[in-house]
Structure 1
Amino acid sequence: MGQLSKYQKWAFILPLMAVLIWSLNIAVTRYVADYISPVSISFYRWFVAFLILTPFMLPNVWKQRALIRPYIPKLAVLSAFGMVLYQGLSYTAAHYTTATNMGIVNAFVPVFTIFISYIILKDKPNRFAIFGSFLSFLGLLYVMSQGHFSRLFDQGGHWGDMVMVIAVGFYTFYGVFLKKWQLQLPLMTSLYIQIVFALLYHAPFLLWLGLDSINAENVASVLYAGIFPSLIAPLLWMIAVQAIGPNRTSIVMNLMPVFTAIIATFWLSEHWTIYHTIGGVTILVGIILAQKKTTKTAVALIETSS
């Protein structure tokens, strides 16, 4: 890699801020689980983002409607995977597991990407990627079993972690399809259309399960989720990719479990244990190995993060 300019060095702050925002959102997700249902917080998150973006985006979307129309089915699929299934299951998982565990499982995206990319994109992994994936998977099982593999199959004991694993799996499909299709649309236009679909997808769930009201206990979390991780963090990330490149930017994502654990420790009084350390380090080492071939793919996963 060539030498970085002074501007590029300062630009490293941008992905750090984005990852910090996403990490805090995981803690917010865990905190607000006691005050609002998963489907309600998921709907409000994208509704807030929709209200903010509409005055700026709707005129452009209308002008670009002929360009957008052919991509509607693909945008609908991306929205389902990235904004509804991933986010909805994440909010559900928060009722049954800790923010620390959610952050660790969330870091597993690059490993899932290797195998799904192989199936969909025929992108064959190298030996480092395979070994790194296996190592990360062992680390994930170690964390889920709380340091004792014999506990892994305790009935109901790891429901939240398993739901989070499924959520991350859906998000990985989102990123792989994003790379496969290479939509020729402005990023903010793509994001806005996906948000519209997300709101439509929530309608049957709201009719069936109902919508919790916004009150003093959950309003701050709703506004944070709708503004910072949904709009500001992706914008910071996209600027960073342009300034310092996708490879350098994607490395910062490995800090998410660390940031999440620190926030959860001080805010939610969660305890970082020795099994978190051993499992987390094992996952991180595996991810570093795995990303030798998948860094560019991993960057595509950040258009709508956790």
Structure 2
Amino acid sequence: MGAFRIWLMLILCNLFWAGNYVFGKYVIAEMTPLWITFSRWLLALFFLFPIACFFEKPDWKAVRQAWIPLVGMGALGGIGYNLVLYSALQYTSATNAALVSALNPGVIVLCSVFLLRERISGIQVSGVVLSLFGVLVILTQGKLGQVFHTEYNTGDLYMLAAVMIWTFYSILGKRLAIPPITATAVSTLFATLMMAPFALAQGIDMANIGPLAVTGIIYMVIFPSVCSFVFWNLSVRAIGASKAGVFLNLIPVFTAMISMILGEKITGAQVWGGLLVFLGVYLTSGMLDRKWGGRTQDPALKAESN
């Protein structure tokens, strides 16, 4: 697979994920978080299973043996994260939600240290601290002196909870030997089954759902739920997770750009806080450590490592 095609897929998948924040902000005005999440994943199932079978040819016996962690992934990633995300969009802007979610890589690294006993360097620790500081700038709207007196936006606090949910989902996924698209399809099936009784009990008034909400759900199913995941996994398979992970920083950028086009104003606190989060994520990813280590390596070893 050519490099241009890989970069294009990575750019597109993050653009589609950014659109999820923007469309979610509009759809939440006509549908509850539960029904957005339930309908999105129910429809996505009709695409995810055929794609998983085509690309990964899963071992269904191994999948059945891993049903407990897959149920956990469905509860965390399929239900918990999306319910909290769409609830957050009831109170905060799409840009703020995306900027706070950019904290995810740093929090995943930090939790991996305590839960999985992974090692972390001093530079990565500084990256986590810098990311947290950047989020604090966003949450306080740049008024750091009032950090203990500010009434925080409920939606931003929801997004912090969403970051923690996604962290535990990611850590659970690290221990799973099932191919990623298959794992997503099966965990989504479990999530849909778990949500179905509650969604049916809550009910939905189809007469109050307009064309915008229908368009939004269709977008969420085809692009963030299916296309982004397939593009992401094909790219990771080609160039590795660490290189592909850098492109995740495009999500808040794309979200801010789309929101600006739609008339949302971007504040200075969002810009500076976002830059601090991005810099912190870069340090946390360990890329600077590898570059620094590369300078001190013997040339032969450096060439071999590439």
Q: Which runs of 5+ in 1 are unaligned?
A: 1-5, 296-306
Does the 8 Å contact 1:152/1:158 carry over to 2? no
Does the 8 Å contact 1:12/1:244 carry over to 2? no
Is 1:279 aligned with 2:261?
no
- Aligned amino acid, residue 164 of structure 1: M
**Shift in Å at residue 119 of structure 1?**
1.9
- Answer with 61-70 or 232-241: which moved more: 61-70
Q: Measure the CA separation in 2 of the matches of 1:137 and 1:24.
A: 24
Could you say which residue in structure 2 is the equivalent of 1:173? 168
Could you say which residue in structure 1 is the equivalent of 2:47? 52
Does the 8 Å contact 1:40/1:212 carry over to 2? no
Q: Measure the CA separation in 2 of the matches of 1:262 and 1:11.
A: 23
Q: Measure the CA separation in 2 of the matches of 1:209 and 1:150.
A: 43
Q: Which runs of 5+ in 2 are unaligned?
A: 290-306
Could you say which residue in structure 2 is the equivalent of 1:128? 123
- Deviation per CA, 1:139-173, whole angstroms, max 9, x where unpaired? 10110111113554567541100001101110111
- Corresponding residue pairs, total: 287
Q: Residue 95 of structure 1: which of 70, 87, 90 is its match? A: 90
TM-score, structure 2 length as denominator?
0.86
Kindly tell me: are residues 53 and 195 of structure 1, through their superposed partners in 2, closer, same or farther at Cα, counting changes over 3 Å?
same
**Shift in Å at residue 243 of structure 1?**
2.3
- Tell me, what secondary structure is at the counterpart of 2:212? coil
Is 1:21 aligned with 2:12?
no
**Shift in Å at residue 286 of structure 1?**
1.0
**Shift in Å at residue 238 of structure 1?**
1.2
Kindly tell me: are residues 157 and 210 of structure 1, through their superposed partners in 2, closer, same or farther at Cα, counting changes over 3 Å?
farther
Q: Residue 83 of structure 1: which of 66, 78, 85 is its match? A: 78
Does the 8 Å contact 2:58/2:182 carry over to 1? no
Is 1:221 aligned with 2:205?
no
TM-score, structure 1 length as denominator?
0.86
Q: Measure the CA separation in 1 of the matches of 2:112 and 2:53.
A: 34
Does the 8 Å contact 1:20/1:259 carry over to 2? yes
Q: Measure the CA separation in 2 of the matches of 1:114 and 1:230.
A: 25
Q: Residue 237 of structure 1: which of 218, 232, 244 is its match? A: 232
**Shift in Å at residue 186 of structure 1?**
3.2
Q: Residue 189 of structure 2: which of 172, 176, 196 is its match? A: 196
Could you say which residue in structure 1 is the equivalent of 2:294? none
Kindly tell me: are residues 7 and 271 of structure 1, through their superposed partners in 2, closer, same or farther at Cα, counting changes over 3 Å?
same
> Which structure has the bigger radius of gyration?
2
